[in-house]
Amino acid sequence: MNTFDGIPAGASGFYADLEQNNNRDWWLEHKARYETLVREPLAALLAELEPRFGPAKIFRPNRDIRFSQDKSPYKTAQGAVASFQEGVGYYVQLSAGGLLVGAGCHSISPAQLARFRNSVDATGTGESLEKIVHRLTDAGFTVEGERLKTVPRGFPREHPRAELLKYKSLSAGRELGEPGWLSTPGAAEEVGRLWEQLRPLVEWMGRHASP
């Protein structure tokens, strides 16, 4: 595995170009740019962070277009996840807009969702999650996820954590753009620092919305 030296400045430019040329011929002609500017640096970053945050997986660059009206063959962002456990973990993404860092639980089965809602409903665990969410928003993270428009059935509309009960998945992230440290070895420390801020959310979801 290569030593991590930073995410090259050309990574965002690669995706800006891909957005304008999302076809197989262009991709094959520029695949070496993808490997050098995106995949290899990202793999090195994840390898450096793996001892602290768990084994990582880089997503495929190809889109699944079988059931989509949009037949563009390639994703315009490269995502990767470091797993805390199945379905719960830390996320990083490169795109034309630069770097995005996040964490949480992006997909929840019906059984997981029931456990999640019961834990939000319970005073101790629910208040704990509420504090975590407030700390993250105060730190500049955006808390998001699939949400119902109303409080789910079985819970009072006036529930003190009504907004959290509406979530069907829950994560937090921050779009960082292209900070000066991104192209330096210090990017690993910066991403690790942000993931540490997100660790309480990951661990809460791991305990209370686990498979």
Amino acid at 158: E
Three-state helix/strand/coil letters over the chain: CCCCCCCCCHHHHHHHHHHHCCCHHHHHHHHHHHHHHHHHHHHHHHHHHHHHHCCEEECCCECCCCCCCCCCCECCEEEEEEEEECCEEEEEEEECCEEEEEEEECCCCHHHHHHHHHHHHCHHHHHHHHHHHHHHHHCCCEEECCECCCCCCCCCCCCCCHHHHCECCEEEEEEEECCHHHHCCCHHHHHHHHHHHHHHHHHHHHHHCCC
Q: Going residue by residue through the chain, which has 211 residues, state the pLDDT in tens, using 9 for 90 and above.
A: 579 999 999 999 999 999 999 999 999 999 999 999 999 999 999 999 999 999 999 999 999 888 887 889 999 999 999 987 778 999 999 999 999 999 998 878 888 899 999 999 999 999 999 999 999 999 999 999 999 999 999 999 999 999 999 999 999 999 999 999 999 999 999 999 999 999 999 999 999 987 6
The pTM score is: 0.92
